Amino acid sequence: MKHSLKQNKKRKIFCTEEIKREQLLHEFEKKQKQTANKELSEKNNLIRQQKQEVENQKQHIEEKNKEIIDSINYAKRLQEAISPPEKIWKNHFPNSFVIYLPEDIVAGDFYWLEDFVLDTQEQLVLFAAADCTGHGVPGAIISVICSNALNRAIKEYKLYEPGKILDKVRELVIETFEKSESEVKDGMDISLCCWSPKTKKLLWAGTNNPLWIIRDGQLLETTPDKQPIGKCADLKPFTTNAQQLLDGDRIIIFTDGYADQFGGDKGKKFKGKQLKELVISSSRENINTQKETIHKEFLSWKGHLEQLDDVCMIGTQV
């Protein structure tokens, strides 16, 4: 009997200790869980803060990006304002086209047109396709400088021969950039025409880009001077070339963006030879259809690849 009581007492003590251990274990697990929940809550709060910071930064970047895009779009409107509108082109050249495809919102390429009246009252029409160094905003700034220099050469210095105009434009551009403390070698390639509607005589000068005349399905090419408008090692006077045009002749001037575009099945450059073939074959069409053909071919060639440079091409039929 006494032995049985002792055993019962031991059992009670054991059970009590077991209960205490379980309670302690439960308390330990509870504290561990509370600690884990607290750490998780702190981590979640940190993640929320980080997400909010990222969202704030994203919003700030988007606002800044919008400001930049708005500024560039405004610059585009200014650049368009100094470009001759289609109405003026059609007034001087009813059968003509301009293909103008900036690589970015604004461009280093530009097209230009002014008229000039000689002392004999003969009216001349000057027009050009120009390619300034770079593209985007830097190219656009240089294009404004070069366009202004062209206007000054005509209106202020009363020049109309393309070679002499380019000599003066180069002088004005270099003079502008020499005001900078750092050396600026930027400039322009240009194809500049002076057309007399009365005599059908065309005067032309070019830097690095040629003049093409399409006559009876044949391409007549006049090569340019191999020097830019800007600083170079050996400055020489620009050459004025004279052409007597015939009814039906087409004048084609352009910058290098079209021929330099990568595309096609092998991702290679379009190149000048292929551009010649395209211009010759499409010259059998009327001038507006020719424009569509040349434009569509460029888009087809480029395909999904990025446009690498500005594109400018002018075509007009005598």
In this predicted model, what pLDDT tens digit does every residue of 180-223 receive, in sequence order? 656 666 788 999 999 999 999 999 999 999 999 999 999 999 99
Average pLDDT rounded to a whole number, residues 256-278:
93
Single out the residue in 46, 81, 116 at which a domain terminates: 81
Nearest 5°: the CA angle 139, 113, 194 is 115
Return the higher-pLDDT residue of 244 and 180.
244
Domain residues for 263? 86-317
Confidence tier at 1 by pLDDT (50, 70, 90) = low
* CA–CA separation, 109 and 254 (whole Å): 10
13 pLDDT band, cuts 50/70/90, is low
pLDDT, average across residues 247-266: 93
Q: How many Cβ atoms sit within 10 Å of the Cβ of residue 76?
A: 16
**72 and 113 co-located in one domain:** no
Tell me, yes or no, whether 173 and 75 share the same domain.
no
Question: Which residue has better confidence, 10 or 126?
Answer: 126
Among 81, 113, 128, identify where a domain stops: 81
- Mean pLDDT is lowest, of 74-78, 112-116, 118-122, 180-184, for 180-184
DSSP-assigned letters across all residues of 246-302: -TT-EEEEE-STTTT-EETTTTEE--HHHHHHHHHHHTTS-HHHHHHHHHHHHHHHH
Maximal CA-CA distance, the chain: 148
- CATH number at 97 reads 3.60.40.10
Residues 97, 243 within the same domain:
yes
Could you tell me the CA-to-CA distances from 227 to 80, 185, 233, 269, 311 in Å, in that order?
28, 13, 9, 23, 20
User: Do 58 and 153 sit in the same domain of this protein?
Assistant: no
Mean pLDDT, the chain, whole residue set: 85
User: Is the whole-model pTM more than 0.95?
Assistant: no
Torsion angles phi and psi, residue 108, rounded to 5: -90, -25
Answer yes or no: do 232 and 248 share one domain: yes
